[in-house]
């Protein structure tokens, strides 16, 4: 007889797994949000920090110039037009393909703190030389109108070296080993290279001629200001990338959390070690009913072989110790010992205890009766 489980058990299990799933999803979402790539605040018109350019953006807006801030290279390319100026900050966060695409825009270009990849992509005859110089007040020492009108400014950084000098190239604010501001024409537009972003920042804009220099270098009515996000730096290395190298850190953290949750769930559902705990049964089933239920189950499946094996195994577990044999004794020893205690011969006992499975219900009933008779006979001796 089978006892149905209470109807609330499947519902409780379903709710438990639902709660675990929701906890994992919420935890993964929280981790992904917390580890979202932070916005680049350096030289950003939206930043009020010391290294932001919010003050410069306000001054340019007051002069009637429209400053549009972009954090994606593709958006910046779509925004620029002929006659506008594209300001590129943190070029080290841009990939080679993005730099090449930015180099083809029809607008004027101002690159702050260019690196080797940016200079190569712009195809200008300028390279980097020496080490980064500290920012100091420097005289323009050139004929560029934007610099001469501004006068001294806070300049420094990695010095620029013009590899192909030309009369149209302006080299200003020369430091120990080279200029820190270079401006040259290229394909009908003007390309300006600024070795440091110091004169543009909120902290130094009011110092010496920094504000005048920044305003004079951005004379266009429309200015597109590109502030790439730091996450873009992952695309810079060349060569084939593996799938795992393209996954952000948050993915790994979520996977680790899922693994921990799975391990905890497995530990929760695993078999407990320790003494058995007695629990009250919802229904008391009599042994006779259980035996009858097993018999009906065997009968419904025509499992005569399994039923005979169960009867024989149960009888042997009781008779073997009764005749003085250890449990697990061999067939020959069991048959010999029983033959000495009964009137049956060894062949008949071997066939009864270890013989083939019955092929009909009548044969199974005969085996059960003979086994019962044998047990009574052994018990009577």
Q: What confidence tens digit (pLDDT) does each residue in 30-75 have?
A: 665 555 555 788 999 999 999 999 999 999 999 999 999 999 999 9
Q: What number is the average pLDDT over the span 309-323?
A: 88
| Residue range 301-316: mean pLDDT, rounded | 88
pLDDT of residue 32: 57
Task: Report the length, in residues, of the chain.
Answer: 381
Whether residue 160 has pLDDT greater than 50: yes
Res 378: pLDDT = 82
Rg (alpha carbons) of the chain, rounded to whole number: 44
Q: How many CB atoms lie within 10 A of CB 138?
A: 21
> E strands along the chain, which residues?
66-70, 85-88, 108-112, 126-138, 153-162, 170-174, 179-186, 189-194, 222-226
Range scoring the smallest mean pLDDT among 115-124, 154-163, 319-328: 319-328
Q: What CA–CA distance (Å, rounded) separates 115 from 195?
A: 9
Coarse DSSP helix, strand, coil percentages of the chain, rounded to the nearest 5 percent: 50, 15, 35
Q: What is the pLDDT of residue 352?
A: 87
CA–CA–CA angle 229, 233, 238 (5° rounding): 150
pLDDT over threshold 70, residue 28? no
How many percent of the chain have pLDDT more than 90? 46
Mean pLDDT of the chain: 85
Residues 181-213: tens digit of each pLDDT: 999 999 899 999 999 999 999 999 999 999 999
Which one is predicted more confidently, 311 or 245? Answer: 311
> Quick one: pLDDT at residue 1?
40
* Residue 27 reports pLDDT greater than 90: no
pLDDT over 90 at 218, yes or no: yes
Report whether 152 contacts 139 (CB < 8 A): yes
Contacts 24+ apart (CB under 8 A), 176-181: 176/130, 176/133, 177/129, 177/130, 177/133, 178/129, 178/130, 179/142, 180/133, 180/138, 180/155, 180/156, 181/142, 181/144, 181/147, 181/155
- Does pLDDT of 135 surpass 70? yes
Who wins on pLDDT, 225 or 354?
225
Question: Which segment of 88-102, 254-268, 284-298 scores lowest on mean pLDDT?
Answer: 284-298
The residues with which 317 forms a beta bridge, in sequence order, are none
Cα separation, 84 vs 152, in Å, equals: 27
Residue with tokens 């018999």: 295
Query: What pLDDT does residue 210 have?
Result: 95
Q: Give the three-class secondary structure for 59.
A: helix
User: Could you tell me if residue 87 is left (phi over 0), alpha (psi between -120 and 50 degrees) or otherwise beta?
Assistant: beta
Q: How far is CA 81 from CA 78, 144, 150, in A?
A: 8, 25, 27
Give the pLDDT of residue 14: 62
Residue 76, pLDDT above cutoff 70: yes
CB proximity list for 376: less than 8 A, separation 6 or greater: none
Least confidently predicted of 6-10, 63-67, 116-120: 6-10
Give yes or no for residue 149 having a pLDDT over 80: yes
Across 144-163, average pLDDT: 94
Least confident of 14-23, 200-209, 252-261: 14-23
Between the two ends of the chain, the Cα-to-Cα distance in Å is 37
In this prediction, residue 35 carries a pLDDT of: 52
Cα–Cα distances in angstroms (integers) from residue 284 to residues 4, 261, 276, 293, 297, in the given order: 12, 38, 19, 14, 20
């Amino acid at each position: 007889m089978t006892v149905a489980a209470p109807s609330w058990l499947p519902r409780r299990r379903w709710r438990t797994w639902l709660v675990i799933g929701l906890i994992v999803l919420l935890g993964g979402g929280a981790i992904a949000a917390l580890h979202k790539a932070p916005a680049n605040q350096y030289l950003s018109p939206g930043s009020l920090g010391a290294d932001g350019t919010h003050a410069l953006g306000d001054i340019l807006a007051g002069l009637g110039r429209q400053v549009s801030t972009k954090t994606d290279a593709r958006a910046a390319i779509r925004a620029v037009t002929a006659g506008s100026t594209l300001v590129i900050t943190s070029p080290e966060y841009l990939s080679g393909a993005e730099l090449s695409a930015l180099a083809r825009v029809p607008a004027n270009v101002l690159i702050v703190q260019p690196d080797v990849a940016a200079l190569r992509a712009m195809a200008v005859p300028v390279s980097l030389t020496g080490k980064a110089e500290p920012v100091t007040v420097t005289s323009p020492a050139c004929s560029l109108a934007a610099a001469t009108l501004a006068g001294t400014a806070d300049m420094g950084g990695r010095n620029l070296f013009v590899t192909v000098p030309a009369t149209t190239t302006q080299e200003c604010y020369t430091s120990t080993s080279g200029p820190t501001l270079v401006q040259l024409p290229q394909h009908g537009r003007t390309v300006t290279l600024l070795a440091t972003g110091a004169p543009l920042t909120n902290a130094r804009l009011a110092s010496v001629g920094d504000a005048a220099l920044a305003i004079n270098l951005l004379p266009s009515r429309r200015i597109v200001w590109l502030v790439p996000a730091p996450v873009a730096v992952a695309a810079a290395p060349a060569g084939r990338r593996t799938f795992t190298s393209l996954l952000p850190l948050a993915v790994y953290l979520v996977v680790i959390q899922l693994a921990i949750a799975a391990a905890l769930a497995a530990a929760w559902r695993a078999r407990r070690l320790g003494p058995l705990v007695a629990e009250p049964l919802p229904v008391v089933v009599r042994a006779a009913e259980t035996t009858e239920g097993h018999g009906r189950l065997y009968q419904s499946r025509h499992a005569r072989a399994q039923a005979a094996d169960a009867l024989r195994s149960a009888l042997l577990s009781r008779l073997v110790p009764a005749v003085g044999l250890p449990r697990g004794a061999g067939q020959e020893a069991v048959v010999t010992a029983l033959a000495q205690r009964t009137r049956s011969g060894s062949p008949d006992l071997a066939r009864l205890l270890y013989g083939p499975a019955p092929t009909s219900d009548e044969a199974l009933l005969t085996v059960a009766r003979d086994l019962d008779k044998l047990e009574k006979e052994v018990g009577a001796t």
